[in-house]
């Protein structure tokens, strides 16, 4: 029997995918559980990744005319009650503040006191409170379009949590816009979805399917929800971003009105769109291996770690000087409008240094010893390849080619993820085969199943809910590029005009 190769993460993805994910987050030093139930502490290595995502997305938003603002964390309960579908959709997830101070009770313990006249909901999303502001700021067509974005945090009281993927509090951005016409609002809805798709594919190296949600999966209160869906390595779908066409529903609830050019009064047409720290979970689950995470260079917390090898104390000063000079040269290089980020790790812990950075997913590790210094060369390893595979290169050549090497890693990760998704996406037209596709191959590992099924759906909510109840499978989206194709519903056999994407999802 062949000896099992040692991995940095145990269990492996095949052995226990959910636990593998938890161990990768821990080993990468990205985040940890908080003492507050369902919340997380994002540590510097993880927060640097989020900062890079924020920087890129923020620039992409602003290029379309969006400006940033900030609104209160607390929302009056009456605001949520203005839009019936909205409050019903979020009611079970709301955290509510009912008191405004603490007092010592008879036993000396602190107790809530000072009952609020109206309960305050801790922000689950901001359509209602931003809508209230819009109703005051907008009076004429000259005020439109109004294009705002907010970076902040939200609270949705989750029963089952998993770091980055589903926590009671998480970081995100939420964009909100008001337009004079339905056409302009819908154009903005499409525009923002395409920005998310470009970002996730070009920066996170995750291929996505663009599409529209079914009525059952639409954001509470929206007319239509557009989304991007990605496949993780356990073949489940991850919704990586959403853009909502709200029609005039929230405008009517918040009384967002404007005077038209013809001097009539109309309700505005609104949109909202958002993405969150869930994207970090997507990066881990798309690109990680049994040694840890693998960070796409375009958004990596850092690009290169230099590992000076000092075996003789007398050589330390010279090797460290060489290392710092190389770091300085690397930091002067541009990588897609961002300086190359370099770490120097001179800890005296032997080979454990390299394994630390493998688990953290840094794209390139460089070893620097006396021989490399004498030959004016570097020895480096790429995180997207076997950790034992190392390349020796002249120092000048390395400095010249490092941006191209990083680009090649980025492309490799995207192609690998695309091939994986394609390999586990199947056209299925027969109900028995469909049910078998989503039945776990191993009953002890219910998370491992077929993947994405492209199957016909008649449009009936009953068929949609039947499949969801039977298999925990949902229609992830109706793809934009779905061709008109007559067929039979995978559930009831009724006529269907096109295929949709069915999958289990996070």
Superfamily of the domain at 17-287: Bira Bifunctional Protein; Domain 2 (3.30.930.10)
Strand, helix or coil for residue 82: coil
Q: Where in the chain is the domain with CATH 3.30.930.10?
A: 17-287
Instruction: Give the span between the Cα atoms of 306 and 428, in whole angstroms.
Output: 50
pLDDT digits (tens, 9 = 90+) for 312-337: 889 999 999 999 999 999 999 999 99
Cis peptide before 222 (omega within 30 of 0): no
Q: What confidence tens digit (pLDDT) does each residue in 157-197 have?
A: 887 889 999 999 999 999 999 999 999 999 999 999 999 99
**Chain centroid to CA 384: how far?**
21
Mean pLDDT value across residues 206-227: 96
Q: Residue 82 pLDDT > 90, yes or no? A: no
How do residues 451-482 score in pLDDT, each as one tens digit? 999 999 999 999 999 999 999 999 999 999 99
- What are the residue ranges of CATH 3.40.50.800 in the chain? 304-406
Task: Give residue-wise pLDDT tens across range 363-421.
Answer: 999 999 999 999 999 999 999 999 889 999 999 999 999 999 999 999 999 999 999 99
Least confident stretch, 14-18, 27-31, 89-93: 89-93
H or E element: which one contains 503?
strand 499-503
Statement: residue 4 has pLDDT above 70: no
Buried b (16+ CB within 10 A) or exposed e, 168-204: bbbbbbbbbbbbbeeebbbebbeebbebbbebbbbbb
84: pLDDT confidence band, cut at 50, 70 and 90? low
CATH number for the segment(s) 425-503: 3.30.110.30
Place 443 in a pLDDT band, splitting at 50, 70 and 90. low
Q: What is the DSSP letter of 204?
A: S
User: CATH 3.30.110.30 occupies which residues in the chain?
Assistant: 425-503
Band (pLDDT 50/70/90 cuts) for residue 106 is confident
Per-residue pLDDT, 1: 47
Closest CA to 271 of 130, 156, 176, 174: 176
What is the dotted CATH code of the domain comprising 304-406?
3.40.50.800
Non-local (6+) Cβ contacts of 109 within 8 A are none
């Amino acid at each position: 029997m062949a000896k099992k190769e040692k991995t940095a993460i145990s269990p492996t993805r095949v052995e226990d995918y959910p636990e593998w994910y938890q161990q990768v987050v821990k080993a990468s030093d990205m985040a940890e559980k908080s003492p507050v139930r369902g919340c997380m502490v994002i540590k510097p290595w993880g927060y640097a990744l989020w900062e890079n995502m924020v920087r890129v997305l923020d620039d992409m938003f602003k290029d379309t005319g969006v400006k940033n603002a900030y609104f209160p964390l607390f929302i009056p309960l009456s605001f949520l009650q203005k839009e019936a579908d909205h409050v019903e959709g979020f009611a079970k997830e709301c955290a509510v503040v009912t008191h405004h101070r603490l007092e010592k009770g008879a036993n000396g313990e602190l107790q809530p006191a000072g009952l609020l006249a109206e309960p305050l909901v801790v922000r689950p999303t901001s359509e209602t409170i931003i809508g209230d502001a819009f109703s005051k700021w907008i009076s004429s067509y000259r005020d439109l379009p109004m294009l705002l974005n907010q970076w902040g945090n939200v609270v949705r009281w989750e029963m089952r949590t998993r770091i980055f993927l589903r926590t009671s509090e998480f970081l995100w951005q939420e964009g909100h816009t008001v337009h004079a016409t339905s056409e302009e609002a819908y154009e903005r809805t499409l525009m923002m979805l395409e920005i998310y798709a470009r970002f996730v594919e070009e920066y996170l190296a995750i291929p996505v399917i663009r599409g529209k949600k079914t009525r059952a999966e639409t954001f509470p209160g929206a007319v239509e929800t557009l989304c991007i869906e990605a496949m993780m390595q356990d073949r489940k779908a991850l919704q990586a971003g959403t853009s909502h066409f709200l029609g005039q529903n929230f405008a009517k609830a918040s009384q967002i009105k404007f005077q038209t050019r013809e001097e009539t009064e109309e309700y505005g047409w609104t949109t909202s769109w958002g993405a969150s720290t869930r994207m970090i979970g997507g990066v881990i689950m798309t690109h990680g291996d049994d040694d840890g995470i693998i960070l796409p260079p375009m958004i990596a917390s850092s690009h290169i770690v230099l590992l000076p090898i000092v075996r003789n104390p007398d050589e330390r000063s010279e090797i460290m000087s060489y290392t710092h000079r190389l770091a300085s040269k690397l930091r002067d290089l541009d990588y897609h409008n961002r300086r190359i980020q370099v770490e120097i790790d001179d800890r005296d812990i032997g080979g454990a240094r390299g394994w630390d950075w493998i688990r953290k997913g840094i794209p390139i590790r460089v070893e620097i010893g006396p021989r490399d210094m004498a030959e004016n060369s570097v020895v480096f390893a790429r995180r997207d390849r076997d950790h034992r595979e190392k390349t020796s290169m002249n120092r000048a050549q390395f400095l010249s080619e490092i941006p191209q090497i990083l680009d090649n890693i980025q492309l490799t990760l995207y192609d690998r993820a695309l091939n994986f998704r394609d390999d586990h996406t199947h056209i299925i037209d027969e109900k028995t085969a469909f049910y078998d596709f989503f039945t776990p191959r191993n009953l002890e590992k219910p998370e491992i199943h077929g993947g994405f099924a492209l199957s016909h759906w008649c449009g009936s909510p009953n068929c949609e809910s039947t499949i969801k109840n039977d298999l925990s499978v949902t229609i992830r989206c109706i793809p934009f590029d779905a061709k008109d194709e007559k067929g039979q519903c995978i559930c009831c056999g009724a006529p269907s005009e096109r295929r949709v994407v069915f999958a289990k999802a996070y």
